[in-house]
Amino acid sequence: MQRNTVQRQIILDTLKKFITHPTVDELYSEIQKSHPSISKTTIYRNLRQLAHGGQIGRVAISDNAERFDYRTDRHYHFQCKTCGEIFDVDIDYVDGINEAVQKKYKFRVDEHDIIFRGVCSKCDQ
């Protein structure tokens, strides 16, 4: 387990405030408002370590920058095609889907990601 430094706690507290899943640049901009001495490199390094340690989630969207998620429970995401924001989708997680794919295709499935895409309620007005 990594030790929890003051900088790491600032990064976690800032990440927790986002309802969307921020990029390193978005987190850096927010952190700079109150902690200008924390560098983007420090933020990036800590986010990678926290994600690797399972303390935060990483949301990888193929056509976007890597984003980070304070939630570590199994859940799905929605990406708005207009503003690009990514939101949590709180629906029941589909248990057994990995096994179904394994059985049908003889793949070894370790995990899956489902991202719904459309237009968020803010952009759809």
Q: What residue spans in the chain does CATH classification 1.10.10.10 cover?
A: 6-69
Range(s) within the chain of domains with CATH label 3.30.1490:
76-118
Other C-beta atoms lying within 10 Å of the C-beta of residue 27: 23
DSSP-H helix ranges across 1-125: 6-17, 24-32, 40-52, 97-105
DSSP string covering 51-72: HHTTSSEEE--TTS--EEES--
What sign results for the dihedral spanned by CA atoms 66, 110, 19, 122?
positive
Mean pLDDT of the chain: 92
pLDDT band at 9 (very low <50, low <70, confident <90, very high): very high
DSSP 3-state of 117: strand
Q: In the predicted model, is pLDDT for residue 100 greater than 90?
A: yes
pLDDT confidence tier of residue 65, bands split at 50, 70 and 90? confident
Please give the C-alpha separations between residue 72 and each of 16, 20, 34, 69, in angstroms, as whole numbers: 12, 14, 26, 7
Find where tokens 């995990």 sit. 111
6-69: in CATH 1.10.10.10: yes
Whole-model pTM? Answer: 0.81
CA pair distance 20, 90, nearest whole angstrom: 13
pLDDT digits (tens, 9 = 90+) for 10-31: 999 999 999 999 999 999 999 9
CA dihedral in degrees (93, 94, 99, 105; nearest 10)?
-120
Q: What is the CATH number of domain 76-118?
A: 3.30.1490
